Amino acid sequence: GQNIDQPTEMTATEGAIVQINCTYQTSGFNGLFWYQQHAGEAPTFLSYNVLDGLEEKGRFSSFLSRSKGYSYLLLKELQMKDSASYLCAGYNFNKFYFGSGTKLNVKP
Amino acid sequence: DTAVSQTPKYLVTQMGNDKSIKCEQNLGHDTMYWYKQDSKKFLKIMFSYNNKELIINETVPNRFSPKSPDKAHLNLHINSLELGDSAVYFCASSQGDGRNQPQHFGDGTRLSIL
């Protein structure tokens, strides 16, 4: 999406840790969201960061650095069901943008 | 007790037709949205709407028009359907103006233009 960049695809092994990065233009953005979307399904909300630092929610954590225009989603103890697309998103001035999504493949 | 429901789930129609997709949310949210997700899985906002403001993505053709009979409904009407309109359309809703609140998505409407 406009102003938001993330890798297209990543592969990781079950039980491992994976970090999915997202960069965005800093001007106008007001916090960053992460969503998960399984193939053929609707996106579901994972996390929201408005302040710098790490937010932890069980196996998933999200980090934000506003000055650098950088965020990442950290997935620990990967499970096969974590195979999905992960989208970062946020408001830039008056419009809401999604990144193009990172497709995560978890292999046994 | 579905939070955001949209109908139909599948819509197959011919080029040139006019169609509508309905969306309802029972979450008491103030803002509703329509998104288009194309074959490359890129999710692009088309409209966001609350009782105060309609924000239109300027890239959306004016053949697309949102209609909101009340706060819980935001329908999408499409005139003169074109082949490029084939996509999955998602409705979503959020509290407040949505800037710092998560969005809840419907299951999507898969539109195919013949």
Which residues of B are less than 8 Å from A100 in CB distance? 40-42
Q: Is A42 in contact with B33 (Cβ distance < 8 A)?
A: no
Asked whether the beta carbons of residue A42 and residue B107 sit closer than 8 angstroms, the reply is: yes
**Cα–Cα distance between B63 and B77 in angstroms, integer?**
8
pLDDT category at A2 given cuts 50, 70, 90 is low
Determine whether the interchain pair B40/A100 forms a contact, defined as Cβ–Cβ distance below 8 Å.
yes
Please list the alpha-helical segments (H only) found in chain A.
none
A97 touches chain B (CB under 8 A): yes
Q: To which H or E segment does residue A105 belong? A: strand A102-107
Residue with tokens 């299951």: B107
- For residue range A20-41, what is the model confidence (pLDDT) as tens digits? 999 998 777 778 999 999 999 9
- Beta carbons of A30 and B40 less than 8 Å apart: no
Contact A98 B45 (CB under 8 A): yes
CA A95 to chain centre: 19
Is residue A48 less than 8 Å (CB to CB) from chain B?
yes
Q: Which of B43, B90, B101, B107 to mutate to test the interface with A (most CBs of A within 10 A)?
A: B43
Q: Chain B contact for A101, CB < 8 A?
A: yes
Our measurement of the distance from residue B61's CA atom to the centroid of its chain's CA atoms, rounded to an integer in Å, reads 14
Q: B65-85 burial by CB neighbour count: b if 16+ within 10 A, else e?
A: ebebeebeebbbebeebeeeb
* The predicted structure's pLDDT at residue A37: 97
| Residue-wise pLDDT tens digits, B41-90 | 889 999 989 876 887 787 899 999 999 888 899 999 999 999 999 999 99
Share of chain A above pLDDT 90, in %: 82
